[in-house]
Amino acid sequence: MDFTDNHLSLHVGGASEIQYISTKRIRVLNPRTRNQKIFQELVENIARVGIKRPITVCMSGADEQGHKYSLVCGQGRFEALMALGESEVPCIVVETTDADGYLISLVENLARRRHSNRELLNAISVLSDRGYNCKQIADKTALDPTYIGGVLMLLRQGEDRLILGVEKGWLPMTIAIEISRASDADVQLSLTDAYEAGTLRGEQMISVRRLIDKRRSLGKTFKVSVARAQQPTTAHSLLSTYQNEVRRQQHMIKRANVSEHRLLFITSALRNLFKDSHFCTLLRAEGIQDVPTPLSDKIHGEA
């Protein structure tokens, strides 16, 4: 069944009767958090010019007081009207089940540009649990199938530490996916690439390195770290910790040596290139008049 064509079309476009429904009869199927500043601007805009588009709801049972409804689309408008003291809101009622209405709400929230990382992860997880594969989720959310697959992989592999970094916003999802797939050596290379590309800088880079160290020593999930914390300290565990630290230090030394060799190669290559008048002319033509001071000092200092 094509969810988008058969259900989303019910409330997007087309003439529909607008009904005024009590706010007490409407419940939010898929609540999401929002930026309070943006929400306040929405409230002020509705107070000034009125609501431009009714909210979308579906019937959700009934009681002695009448029909009950579930909100499908328009949580921001619904909450703004409530904040303005409105007891009734203009609605378009669509014929769909609570389950399908919930999925419509998920897809519409995912389609918004300003969603939190936690909402994104939870929504993709819910769609996957309901039987949708990566391609189907990507078609409904306009996200890349590879990206969707990476999100699901993080969730299924129990990458709690990486997911926490993504949820807090300082770890880009693409880097989290790379870390989960790579070996320790490849992780360090990925970090170097991310730094050079400008994806990770400053405090963000420090936070990612700390996360990787914790992930390596304490495990991917927080449950692993709790279990290990409950284990008694023994001579064997101290020796193991010491050996792990030695290996980490040795790995850092190897990386430093590799970086030093690369720097020597770059310095030697640039020194020879700067002796070439054609190369210098090309740099001037491209508007490249200088090089980083540390590199310049090394080139001219060793000449």
Mean pLDDT of 216-224: 68
Rounded to whole angstroms, the Cα distance separating 20 from 54 reads 9
Q: Is the pLDDT of residue 66 over 80?
A: yes
Q: Edge-to-edge strands of the sheet including 66-73?
A: 18-22, 88-94, 55-63, 66-73, 26-28
pLDDT greater than 60 at residue 14: no
pLDDT for 133 equals: 83
Task: Tell which of 192, 212, 230 closes a domain.
Answer: 230
The 3-state DSSP class for residue 71 equals: strand
* Residues whose CB falls within 8 Å of the CB of residue 21, separated by 6 or more in sequence, listed in order: 57, 69, 88, 89, 91, 93
Please check the confidence at residue 292 and state whether its pLDDT lies above 80: no
Does 106 share its domain with 149?
A: no
Structural domain of 275: 235-301
Among 13, 81, 90, residue whose Cα is nearest residue 57: 90
Q: Do 175 and 242 have their domain in common?
A: no
Query: Which of 230, 265, 287 represents a domain boundary (last residue)?
Result: 230
Q: Per-residue pLDDT tens for 127-163?
A: 788 788 888 887 776 677 777 787 788 888 878 788 7
Residue 86 CB burial class (10 angstroms; 0-12, 13-18, ≥19): middle
* Whether the Cβ atoms of residue 94 and residue 55 lie closer than 8 Å to each other: no
In this structure, the answer to whether residues 9 and 57 fall within a common structural domain is yes
Residue 52 and residue 8 share a domain: yes
Cβ contact 81:23 at 8 Å: yes
One domain, residues 206 and 246: no
* pLDDT class of 9 with cuts at 50, 70, 90: very low
Residues 8 and 105 in one domain: yes
Q: Is 265 exposed, middle or buried (0-12, 13-18, 19+ CB in 10 A)?
A: exposed
- pTM score, two decimals? 0.36
Question: In this structure, which amino acid lies at residue 274?
Answer: F
Q: What percent of the chain has pLDDT over 90?
A: 0
Q: What's the whole-number mean pLDDT along residues 50-57?
A: 83
Q: How confident is the model at residue 170 (pLDDT cuts 50, 70, 90)?
A: confident
Domain boundary among 114, 132, 165: 114
Residue 131 and residue 225 in one domain: yes
Residues 146 and 226 in one domain: yes
pLDDT band at 8, cuts 50/70/90? Answer: very low
Same domain for 24 and 88? yes
Task: Report whether pLDDT(118) > 70.
Answer: no
Residues 55 and 156 in one domain: no
pLDDT of residue 107: 61
Residue 37's CATH number: 3.90.1530.10
Side-chain-facing half-sphere of 232: CA atoms under 13 Å: 2
Same domain, 102 and 144: no
Beta carbons of 124 and 150 less than 8 angstroms apart: no
| Whether residue 218 sits in one domain with residue 133 | yes
Token reading at 225: 């770290």
Q: How confident is the model at residue 222 (pLDDT cuts 50, 70, 90)?
A: low
Q: How many domains does the chain have?
A: 3
Q: Looking at 112-116, 285-289, 294-298, which range is the least confident one?
A: 112-116
Average model confidence (pLDDT) across the chain: 75
At residue 61, the pLDDT reads 81
C-alpha 205/C-alpha 208 separation (Å) is 5
Buried b (16+ CB within 10 A) or exposed e, 32-45: bebeeeeeeebbee
Flag whether pLDDT at 3 surpasses 60.
no
Q: Which two tokens stand for residue 276?
A: 């070439």
DSSP sequence for 276-289: -HHHHHHHHHTT--
- Torsion (CA) 249, 161, 188, 246 in degrees, nearest 10: 10
Average pLDDT of the residues in 111-118: 53
**pLDDT greater at residue 148 or residue 89:** 89
